[in-house]
Amino acid sequence: MPHPFIVMTGLSGAGKSVAIKVLEDLSYYALDNLPPRLIPDALRVCQQAGYEKVAFVIDVRSGPLFQDAMAVLADLEREGRRPHLLFFDAADEALIRRYSETRHRHPLEASGGVQPSIDEERRQLVQLRARADKVIDTTYLTVKDLRDTLHSLYGGGPSGMLVQVTSFGYKYGLPPGADLVFDVRYMENPFYIPELKPLSGSDEPVRRFVLDHPATQRFLGFVVPFLRTVMPEYEKEKKAHLGIAFGCTGGRHRSVTIADEVARRVKEFWPGEIAVEHRDRDRSDERT
C-alpha cells in the first residue's frame, strides 16, 4: 500500500483543498486544518476505527498552533510513525491571481495585501518544504492535471512522478506546463507530401515517413537516453509532475509522431504513469 499516512501542507491557494477531495476519493480518511499537536491522537483514533489510509492537512490557518509542526513530525519519526509529507507550492503570480479570482482572504492577510502574506507564509514553511517527501508545484497545473498527478502517486498503482508528454504547434504557443521542450521543426515535413498532408502523426504512413528519416533516428538516439538519465533525478528532487513537450510548426505531423514514439520508449524503463496529449493535432485550420 503506497503511503498509508500522509500529512499535507504548503502555500495557501496552491491546491490542498483539491488534493484532500482527491485523496478522499482514493479511500483516505482525511482531516483538514488539523492543529499539528493533534496528529498523534487523530492517527491513533483513525487506526482504532479501522481506517488503513489517513491524510491530514496542516497549515498556517491554525495560527500559533502551527509552530509545533516540525517538533510533532520529529516525534512521530522517532516513534516509527513517520508520515509521508506532501508539500504544495506555486509561483507568487499564480497565487495572487487565484486569490484575486476567488476573492478569498489569505489566512495571514497583512495590511500590504496578498504579496506580504505570501512572503510571510513562505518564511514559516521553509523547514517543512525542506523536509517534504514530495513537492507538487501547481503553477501550471489544471485541476485535471493535479488529480491525475495525485492518482499516479497515491492511487495504488506504480508510485512515482507523473510524466506528461505533449505534442504542440509553435504557431499556437508553448504548453505552459512543459518542463522540457524539444523543437522538431528541423525534421523533414510531411505537410509538403500531398498524400500525407491530410493525415496526422498518429497515422501509420506519417509515422513511417517521420521515423524512417535519419535525422529522426539520431534525435531519438539522443533524447531517450537523456530522459533515462534525467527523469530519476527529477523524481529525487521531489518533483511530482514532469512535462515533456515536442513542437513542430502546427502540431499535426512531426511532433505527434515523436511524442508517441518517445512515450512508447520511455514506458520501457519508467515504472510510473505516462500520459500523452496531442494539443494541436485536431485543429481544423491548416498547419504543418
- pLDDT per residue, tens digit, the chain (288 aa), is 579 999 999 999 999 999 999 999 899 999 999 999 999 999 999 999 999 999 999 999 999 999 999 999 999 999 999 999 999 999 999 999 999 887 788 998 876 789 999 999 999 999 999 999 999 999 999 998 999 899 888 987 655 788 999 999 999 999 998 999 999 999 999 999 999 999 999 999 999 999 999 999 999 999 999 999 999 999 888 788 899 999 999 999 999 999 999 999 999 999 888 999 999 999 875 545
Termini Cα distance of the chain: 46
pTM for the whole structure: 0.77
Distance CA 30, CA 96 (A): 27
Q: Identify the burial level of 106 via C-beta atoms within 10 angstroms of its C-beta, where 0-12 means exposed, 13-18 middle and 19 or more buried.
A: buried
Q: Measure the CA angle with vertex 35, ends 33 and 36; round to 5°.
A: 115
Q: If you compute the radius of gyration of the chain from its CA atoms, what whole number of angstroms results?
A: 22
Q: Measure the CA angle with vertex 145, ends 252 and 99; round to 5°.
A: 120
Fold classification of 5-154 (topology level): Rossmann fold (3.40.50)
Contact predicate 28/50, CB 8 Å: no
DSSP state of 239: B
Domain limits, the chain = 5-154, 162-278
* DSSP helix/strand/coil, 173: coil
